[in-house]
């Protein structure tokens, strides 16, 4: 008898974990059917996301570039820095793929406030096993890739250079090119005259929780449909 279709989700977070909490709450409410978060991985020791995981009964793990011995503290040599990142990425991919294939290895990885850029040494082995990886970025596709996206959009709005006076947020697939993977879901947000940067940031962040839940539910549904088609 075939096992029931299920989407296992692994979440990566670095800080407060509010997007992680949004996923936990959505799963508890049945808004992401036939899915579960199997584990949380954090790369910052004081990430509050771990407290959220404990309250939800979700196992978590701390895995850090420096603390776990991949990079020397204070290292500045570019080649050594890159080598350290490559080894960290490969070790993290190995850690994910070592999870039990029938009970814990994820079908989907959600980067929920994960403050680290993955390279091919993580992404390639994960993709090879058919595991999807998504990320939330506070900009529209093809606009303001990388850091300080909201600040850059706000500056352009103030200068009269923001296209249609709109910025936004997207959930996209993660590829090597930063924030350039295919979008899963996009939400436009119009900038308003007289609004401060802090007010714009607050409005953008208020949409993030619903978008990451909707995108996760969308992909989980696709994964489950694919599993059912194969049964």
**Residues annotated as part of the active site:** 137
Structure tokens at 162: 């923001």
Say if CB 54 and CB 61 are below 8 A apart.
no
Residue of 127, 119, 132 lying closest to 89 (CA atoms): 119
Query: Strand 166-173 to strand 132-137: parallel, antiparallel, or no bridges (unpaired)?
Result: antiparallel
Torsion over CA: 82, 83, 88, 93 (sign): positive
Query: Tokens 């506070």 correspond to what residue?
Result: 138
The backbone torsions φ and ψ at residue 108, rounded to the nearest 5 degrees and listed phi first, read: -140, 135
Going by C-alpha positions, the residue among 22, 18, 83, 94 that lies closest to residue 49 is 18
What distance in Å separates the CA atoms of residue 205 and residue 228, rounded to the nearest whole number?
35
State the CB neighbour count (10 A cutoff) for residue 176. Answer: 13
Nearest-Å Rg of the Cα atoms of the chain is: 18
């Amino acid at each position: 008898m075939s096992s029931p279709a299920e989407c296992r989700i692994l979440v990566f977070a670095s800080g407060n974990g509010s997007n992680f909490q949004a996923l936990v709450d959505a799963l508890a409410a049945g808004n992401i059917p036939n899915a579960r978060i199997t584990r949380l991985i954090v790369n910052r020791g004081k990430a509050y996301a771990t407290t959220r995981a404990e309250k939800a009964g979700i196992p978590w793990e701390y895995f850090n570039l420096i603390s776990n011995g991949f990079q020397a503290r204070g290292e500045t040599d570019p080649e050594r820095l890159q080598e350290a990142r490559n080894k960290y990425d490969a070790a993290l991919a190995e850690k994910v793929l070592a999870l039990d294939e029938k009970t814990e290895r994820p079908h989907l990885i959600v980067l929920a406030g994960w403050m680290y850029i993955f390279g091919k040494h993580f992404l390639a082995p994960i993709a090879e096993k058919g595991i999807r990886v998504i990320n939330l970025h506070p900009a529209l596709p093809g606009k303001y890739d990388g850091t300080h996206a909201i600040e850059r959009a706000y500056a352009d709005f103030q200068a009269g250079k923001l296209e249609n006076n709109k910025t936004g947020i997207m959930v996209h697939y993660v590829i090597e090119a930063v924030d350039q993977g295919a979008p899963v879901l996009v939400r436009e947000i119009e900038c308003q005259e007289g609004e401060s940067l802090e007010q714009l940031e607050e409005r953008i962040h208020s949409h993030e929780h619903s978008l990451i839940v909707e995108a996760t539910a969308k992909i989980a549904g696709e994964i489950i449909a694919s599993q059912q088609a194969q049964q």
